[in-house]
A and B are shown apart, each in its own frame.
Chain A
Amino acid sequence: MLVWIGGNFRERLVGWIFRLPDAGGDPIDELQRHDLIGPAALIVLGVLIVGVGLFWISWRTSDFRIDRDAVTVRRGVLLRTTRTAKLDRIQGVTISRPFFARLVGAARVEMDVAGHDANVRLEYLSGGAAEELRRDVLRLASGRRAEEGTGGAVEAPVTGPALVTITPGRAIASVLLSETTVVLVLVAAVVIPGMTALGAGPAAAVSFGPVLIAAVTVAGRRIGRNLRFSVVATDDGVRIGAGILSTSNEAVPPGRIHAVRIEQPLLWRPAGWWRVSVNRAGRIGGRRNAELERSIAPVATTAEVLALLPHLVPALREGTPLLQAGMVGTGEGEDFVPAPRRARWLRPVAWRRTGFLLTHDAVLLRGGFLRRHLTIVPIARIQSVALHQGPAERLLAVARIEPHVVSGVVHPRLGLIDRPIAEALFTDLARIGTTARSSDVSHRWAARPEEASA
């Protein structure tokens, strides 16, 4: 508990302390000496009033409108801007509550749209209004018809089961079992005895101090984030919640996920934990959300991964055995196409795990022996496909396939595929890609088929 409180408050405290002018010692003493307490207090009060007034004006002059196709936000006092985003282009809707806003029950709604600085922001609403707005946006974007006669009355929120909830034990253990910790311990185990042998033990221990403090801070922050992390299934995609003092809750509609990677560091294997990361076109500014975007589930159990993946990639709804084969299998199980035996010259160990599976709407790329990983790319989201072959691969008649997706932390690729098979996969992905895209209706995920194409 103390660790995360410390981790969150530290930045704020440091900023607070260092922002004070330090000319001539304590500024309060200086003011007292010149008998300026009264004027100074007035100035501070004036600035505060003007600030609050400006904020209030800008808040009063912001408004928004949602219709069937688009959401429009107007804001600004001197410089009026009107921003309109088409509903089928919305990649996600986030409700965030920064700490101070949360104290007064206010929330910020942000709709992410692909493109640099293209998000539609609305700040600040009351918590209830923010939830209602998000529900409306998602309902209209889904193409689901509002029931006639209810006059757009809000339906009960349709939330499903929690897909990922991280227990405190797992949150802490997963961070302690990370590669960073191992490297740190190894370095400490080698460097400190080494230096002691050279007669510089205390110096080594002292020099190690800052590294340790930094590592503990980072670990503390990660644990803190994991502690309040949750993924919940709804009819309109998944909702990812995170944060302790400042919270955010992001709704990701179906079909907005361009690639998923699940991986298992070696130390997590006994516990059966996995990290799930995704690539998305929308991007939300801000430090916390950058972390959020990196992993959709920082540490999930195998069962949670199996429950979560079908919500991220609808094509995997019936595919639990496939996923299990992809996560832990080797060789040919569940129709995976393995790497040929001769590929062991290039990857002596990992070739056993290397393989792919092409389903009707997704391609699964499996690899990694010590650090197992599985990348899933919905075919309708592939932008282009590449096949690569270097000199060694040429000799062994293998090739590497790369489905290109929007940029992010996941880089889908799979080497060591038998060349004719790789060429066939390339042809298939290029061909299925065209049909999967034209029949893809996930931009209006809940509409009846005949409306979806409209």
Chain B
Amino acid sequence: MTLEQRRTGLDAGIEGWQRVSGKLVAVEIAGVLALALLGAAIGAVLLLANPVLGWIVIGADVVVAVIRLVIAPRRVRSIGYVLRADDLVFRRGILFSRLVAVPYGRMQLVDVNRGPVARLLGLAELRLVTAAATSNITIPGLPEPVAAEVRDLLIDRAEERRVGL
């Protein structure tokens, strides 16, 4: 194993990864900012009671928010999925990377969800549920037409290859 391979995320030699929409970065940023604001508000309240602690909280909050903002584009780029002949493969994560293969026949249901910011940008997320609680996967940042298309395709293929538990 070369150093180069070690640096790349897990892919099990699978090719043809589909990226999710770049607009997802905006959704991520909105999420980071919302959480950062909440942290800052807590810090501000603490400031009244204990200035030192308040500034520590605000400082930590800002540092965390900046780091998350910097890595947001990379996090989004790490998300990928492939619709193979018999299964859907999904991957995500930079530091902790995860690769999941879900056979079409094992899918119990497919959800399409849209959060408030994602809806403004015309994005949706696709959630797949199997009989195993641990395998649930969520593909965020799909443009709405793509999400609908993938959903229909998954349902068709699940119907064709349906198996028991």
* A residues whose Cβ falls under 8 Å from a Cβ of B: 88-89, 114, 258, 281, 381, 383-391, 394-395, 397, 399, 402, 404-407, 411, 419-420, 423-424, 426-427, 429-431, 433-434, 437-438, 440, 443
Contacts and interface: CB of A to CB of B under 8 A. Distances in A.
Contact of A384 (B9, B12, B100, B164): B100
Interface of B: 1, 6, 9-14, 86-87, 89, 95-103, 105-106, 130-135, 137, 161, 163-165
A427 B132 contact: no
A102 B135 CA distance: 43
Best-buried of A88, A426, A429, A430 by chain B (most CB within 10 Å): A430
A437 to B, nearest CB: 5
A405 B106 CA distance: 11
Given A88-B164, A397-B6, A384 B135 contact: yes
Given A384-B101, A387-B10, A420-B1, 17 more contacts: A114-B165, A383-B135, A384-B130, A385-B100, A385-B101, A386-B135, A387-B12, A387-B100, A388-B96, A388-B97, A391-B95, A423-B10, A423-B12, A426-B101, A430-B101, A434-B86, A437-B105
B130 A404 contact: yes
A427 B165 CA distance: 21
Given A383-B106, A437-B105, A388 B130 contact: no
A420 B12 CA distance: 8
A423 B11 CA distance: 8
Best-buried of B13, B97, B134 by chain A (most CB within 10 Å): B134
A388 B103 CA distance: 18
B157 to A, nearest CB: 12
B1 A404 contact: no
Contacts of B102: 383-384
Contact of A406 (B1, B14, B131, B137): B131
A407 B132 contact: yes
A381 B132 CA distance: 10
B131 A114 contact: yes
